[in-house]
A and B are shown apart, each in its own frame.
Chain A
Amino acid sequence: MRKFMPLLGLIALFITAPAWAAAEVGHPAPDFEAQTASGETFKLSDHKGEIVVLEWTNHECPFVMKHYGTGNMQKTQTAAREEGVTWVSIVSSAPGRQGNTSAEEALKIAQDAGADINAKILDESGEIGHLYDAKTTPHMFVIDANGMLAYAGAIDDQPSPNPKTVEGAHNYVLAAIKDLKTGRAVETPQTASYGCGVKY
């Protein structure tokens, strides 16, 4: 697989170049259609009228473990879904690389962690990841009811894998959802995402 990395990188470059312009905050979020781990079809444009959160994840990444281990990610998911938000977790780990799992494993991981999500998508080819230029796990995207990308970046302001940093952190995703719900412009629409690199 690693042999093909330069080739994949090249392809990625071609995909990301136009996609970079596409997945820009304040512009329409790129549409995609994919099969979820439970076998249904998820098409982003079917969810116009709802706020959609995309969460890039890799259950073996220490930063992801910080947020799931402390229950912070689950709490964020529940709080979002209580506001009517659709939450999609995406794994872009390539086969053979950290975080890559079968569909059953993926569902079990979500269930064991108590994840409160609408769908989990296994993006082995990295297509959706490159479409959004997802760099890290976690990397968060909030799409507003009109299909515009309203927030892209970190989940909070504590770029650390240390579980102690969860308490008192400022959650950018919940803040963006709150701003959208009250009809205000998102105060912080873009931050530097932090975490492990996505294992494309």
Chain B
Amino acid sequence: MHRLLLIALLPIMLLCSPSAQAQTKEKDDSLVKIRLLPERTNINPGEEFQIAIDQVIAEHWHTYWENPGDSGTPLRITWTLPQGWKAGPLLWPAPHKIPYEPLMNFGYENSATLLQSLKAPKNLPEGPIDLSADIEVLVCKEECIPEYAAYHLTLNDPQTTPEDNSAYIEMASAKIPVQSDWQATFTEENGNLVITTTPPEDIAGAIDPQSLEFFPREWGLIENTAKPKATIENNKLTISQTRGERPISAFKTAEIVLRYKANDGKDNALTLNALPNTKAPAADHPTSTARKKQSATQKPKLKTTQNISLLGAALFAILGGLILNLMPCVFPVLSIKALSLIKISEKHPALARLHGLSYTAGVIASFVIIAATLIALKSAGSEIGWGFQLQNPLMIGLLVYLLFLISLNLIGLFEVSGRFGNAGSKLAGKEGLTGSFFTGVLATLVATPCTAPFMAGALGFALLQPAAISLLIFALLGLGLALPYLVLSFIPALQKAMPKPGAWMDIFKQLLAFPMFAATIWLIWVLGMQTGADGIISILIGMALLSFAIWMLRHKPKDRFWRGLTTTLALISIFLAITSLPPKAMIVSMCEVKQSSLSQSFSPGKLETLLQGDDPVFVEMTAAWCITCKVNHAAALNIDSTRQLFEDNNVQYLIGDWTNEDPQITEFLDSYGRSGVPLYVYYPPRDAKTGQRAQEKILPQILTPGIVRDYIEGRK
């Protein structure tokens, strides 16, 4: 006893000789023998490799997991690394329950191997590299003894033979719980924490519920001594355990490690990220209001971003709608519309006003319909947000055809009398008004992908309001989009300021076909992101068939028989074109992730792990169909200077792709009061002195390299 006390009082720093290459010696009388084993002892510039932190623990003693349970403390490692080196977060093998009556601890007996990644800088100098680490580990039986030791590693030492421990690292990483992608939620029922998840069928069938144990990564979620109750019904796994001392609402996510035996007797461990159950049966009216209240208590962070007033949201909505007019796919439609207006107003000023009104009605009606659908789907429980209609490849396919047809029309392949983009003579008639209404619908359809700046805040606000107010905000957004044309139709002075109609208008119209073609190509690319090459081929065949049908219809012969035949053929090709549309998303591919080795794809678990480390974290939420996102990515993020900036500041870069529906990303957007992309969030590094992170910051919707730099370097 006294000998142990002495050790506790006099922590002895044990240094081993630098010549011992990658191997390390340990204190002979220590209760935990620690070794550091690098994956390889020869490292190339810029290379990332794993280090195993191997603990051999004396019999009957134990060390702790990252959440130690009721008492104890996890192992700490402090690296002293040369300039430019980076250490990743510690990876912990799945723990065991270690009862310590009447308490419960989570940790390891006999042995445990932790892993940590180290990354060498690109400008790694030649010659031997010295790395050192201070390790502090608490080892307990009846009493607890802290043990301290310093370790040295020498890499790239030309004097010694290179070592390869990758087989060992592989064995160790097999014991780290795998990150599962099972959807999971948690809620509180009668003083219990209840976690529900749906594992894949073959796994759900093989889990022995009696053997199941679970370990939350954070303290206070469960009463550690209580026993979990697990049941599997219809492939749904439900785990219940007495809740802990912290209110369940304090948890934004619950990351837990599950251990279970499969029917074949094999041990399995995996990590599960559970989200608060927002569809809790507690509310007596499961409407969007109930959702809002609930998420407001669960995520106090919401308040800062949501606190724009109704008036502010209304202004932002109108302003956002106005800016939508300048988007590349909207602009040609509107220019043509504006030109046709001038023609009309010369002769019939009253009719011009009617056109303005019916166009406005078309825009507002479409916005309200889309918003109503969105609200209905959301209250029915779908995790979706603004732009959801573009997550459906069928919708994208239809938009491709639509834009393609408009382009063909603009370039003059065919005329549509009294419909979109009408510059013909018939437009003075009544049916021109319907045309104006549908131009409004069209403008809304092509505008939806471009969530313009100012709109994000208003949309986020709108979707959390009672249905009537949300609809009002969306209607105002529509009003903003319609406003320039409406104003033009009502103020003759403005019409006079427009250029005089003439032959130049036809040439201008043809010119506008090209931005339209560009927008079409972009949408085809989006479709490629969603469905791969098969989807692209289907849509291209469809486009060829459509052009064929239009060409046929244009050349109607006088002869009745031939006229019937061409019409039939045209209809068949239109039918074929529509059926060629890819029905559903097949792949979610993230080309950005492949382009840049710096970034990783987003998951709440990954974010949580990174936030537990010390490095700053940058989160980018994007989607292939979001132009603003693409422009920001290309102009401010995926450039050499920003890449260098991220590297210099050890910024961990996570990209979330919302091209297809993803509830985890929707949840993340929700927690920042947003309902659409782009969203950029920067989490500053942990302060070395206080060990705390400063409040995360939300970047503007339009980025420049300078703005990004200001945030990363802490000037904003």
Contact = CB atoms under 8 A, between A and B. Distances in A.
Nearest to B219: A192
B123 interface: no
Contacts of B220: 190, 192
Interface stretch (A5-13, A44-52, A73-81, A175-183): A5-13
B8 A197 contact: no
Interface string B225-264: 0000000000000000000011000000000000000000
Given A65-B9, A196-B143, A160 B76 contact: yes
A138 B324 CA distance: 60
A149 to B, nearest CB: 11
Contacts of B101: 5-6, 8-9, 200
A83 interface: no
A105 interface: no
A200 B102 CA distance: 7
Contact of A60 (B5, B100, B219): B5
B621 interface: no
Interface stretch (B144-152, B270-278, B568-576): B144-152
Contact of B105 (A12, A162, A197): A197
A9 B245 CA distance: 19
A197 B72 CA distance: 7
Nearest to A191: B219
B113 interface: no
B102 A62 contact: no
Interface stretch (B86-94, B134-142, B421-429, B623-631): B134-142
Nearest to A69: B9
A197 B70 contact: yes
Given A8-B102, A162-B136, A196-B71, A190 B245 contact: yes
A200 B100 CA distance: 10
B92 to A, nearest CB: 15
A98 interface: yes
A135 interface: yes
A65 B246 contact: no
Contact of A161 (B73, B102, B219, B690): B73
Given A98-B142, A98-B143, A194 B691 contact: no
Contacts of A162: 11, 76, 136, 146, 148
Interface string A41-68: 0000000000000000000111101000
Contacts of B105: 197
Contacts of A98: 142-143
Interface in A124-166: 130, 133, 135-136, 152, 157-163
Nearest to B8: A62
B144 A161 contact: yes
Interface in B51-75: 68, 70-74
Contacts of B136: 160-162
A32 B74 CA distance: 34
Contact of B71 (A24, A136, A163): A136
Nearest to A21: B191
A133 B140 CA distance: 21
B521 interface: no
A198 interface: yes
Contacts of B73: 63, 159-161, 194-195
B100 A161 contact: no
A168 interface: yes
Contacts of B71: 135-136, 193-198
B3 interface: no
B146 A161 contact: yes
A196 B64 CA distance: 12
A16 B242 CA distance: 13
A6 B9 CA distance: 33
Contact of A133 (B72, B74, B142, B245): B245
B225 to A, nearest CB: 8
Nearest to A26: B247
B467 to A, nearest CB: 35
A98 to B, nearest CB: 5
Contacts of A108: none
A133 B246 CA distance: 13
Nearest to B218: A192
Contact of B690 (A16, A135, A168, A195): A168
Contacts of A6: 101
Contacts of A200: 101-102
Interface in B200-236: 219-220, 223
A199 B674 CA distance: 50
B12 interface: no
Contacts of A133: 245
Interface of A: 5-6, 8-9, 12-13, 16, 20, 24, 60-63, 65, 69, 97-98, 130, 133, 135-136, 152, 157-163, 168, 170, 190, 192-198, 200
27 contacts: A5-B101, A8-B101, A12-B102, A24-B245, A60-B5, A62-B144, A62-B145, A98-B143, A136-B70, A152-B245, A158-B691, A159-B74, A160-B76, A161-B73, A162-B11, A162-B146, A168-B689, A170-B690, A170-B692, A190-B220, A193-B71, A194-B68, A194-B71, A194-B73, A196-B72, A197-B71, A198-B71
Interface of B: 5, 8-9, 11, 68, 70-74, 76, 100-103, 105, 136, 138, 140, 142-146, 148, 219-220, 223, 245-246, 689-692
Given A9-B101, A20-B245, 15 more contacts: A8-B102, A16-B102, A24-B245, A60-B143, A62-B138, A62-B145, A65-B9, A157-B691, A161-B144, A163-B11, A192-B219, A192-B220, A194-B71, A196-B144, A197-B70
